[in-house]
Structure 1
């Protein structure tokens, strides 16, 4: 049971009239992982999140949270979930601590010690006794996360948590989410339109389009396993192109010569091979720069350039 995924979607489908919004969606989220959820306009991302948290009924399929079906054991399954859908709502005339006390009364077993723990965890210890109306948007987001994890859920779901945050606030939230996942063992599902932030925040991402799962990929191995655009700074282009094109495992059509620079789309392991070939051909090599495909590049390739939501 210890290896059981915290969240399992099995052929989840949502139809409204004759229109299929989510089409047989299946994926798992293991314990302690930050899982990104991406999709272009109308892909069914928000609909899927609403079905997971019980705000919308499924047409077909099964959602299992920490071993409990939301169809058969709805109340027990919901106790395993903490969520912020859109913006966290707080009583602005109360302090942050008073808000947490209020939410704690809605759940059994939340002690004052637990409240202090989550306040420390989200970094609000020095401001928790101030009224929420004085909080920045980033502080309200952190208070929302604290409220969502008060009852020690197994799964935290955040829909567009970085909306309205400045770069510092986004970085703070990103760091707290990774800390929650990797130190507390909490599974986090997060959706965002900021692909660069998702790349830094998530362990894996699922990409859906027109309600269907297109791909689930790990972001930790991206730099090592995908084709990279590699630029070689050279003294002369005279022999460089011929030396590179002569290599059997390099596609000559990907080679570009621009002034004193040779650019190639190659695998990571091919970089030293091409560098050695250039030097052997008498080409002076002054520098090498590589750039793996970003999550944004991969997303646009997969979805055909459709806008993300």
Structure 2
């Protein structure tokens, strides 16, 4: 038994102690955990981008997407179990089919709340971010889906991402603005395919992998969710390319009445639903390459709609006004 394996078994006692706390904690901690899901984050980002501040929402969405891609690659590389996979005493209030470390919820919470706190530059914002991340970490331990080392790793990776973004955002954006739109779109494609390449390399590390006997309590396990990485990669292309094209043309203003903002959100969601249903109606059978390519294109279409198509429709319908041409 290696060091990490011994550490995980030592951490089981902490999880069991949390799960012995009063049962009324289950509901609120499940709510906290739901705040770290992809679905909730997407809803928040759509509200911010379409209805509050487009440039702010675009930057936040890009940071969250990059974090999600790195988290998925990290899970594939480290191949760590969940607590309930190895100990029947741990009650799984939720079940996850992917590897455990680093915790995606803890990492997303750190990047999302931390980035907002950095932009606010207020002590209360930093305090709120710390409380939110701590609650998210607690919820994942209580629910039995992560070890303390999982959430610690997720928070650490999230902090590193925030540090890099804070140091590199301005010079990278200045360099990006100096490129032509055609080059920006090609670079967006390169970044998104870079995530795919990292995923392929990480998957090679797990060639021939099978569920260890010690993980016999895991139930359904599907660690190599290539389609999730294809979705992230496609989303990255749509966000970067769509944002570059839109804001080079002037972007749009999120100002307006509550009714106008609400209508923008409804139109945007309706378009996304139509695209999502259309992609599901196109059945792709054959090799995994074709399946993942279809997933990539489908999520690229969704993100292009969200970032570029929907704002153009808002302007055409009179629900938003164009802004002056300034790069994001």
TM-score computed with the length of structure 1 as normaliser = 0.23
Q: Kindly indicate which of the two structures has a greater share of residues assigned to strand.
A: 1
Task: Report the structure number with the largest CA radius of gyration.
Answer: 1
Q: Kindly indicate which of the two structures has a greater share of residues assigned to helix.
A: 2
TM-score computed with the length of structure 2 as normaliser = 0.22
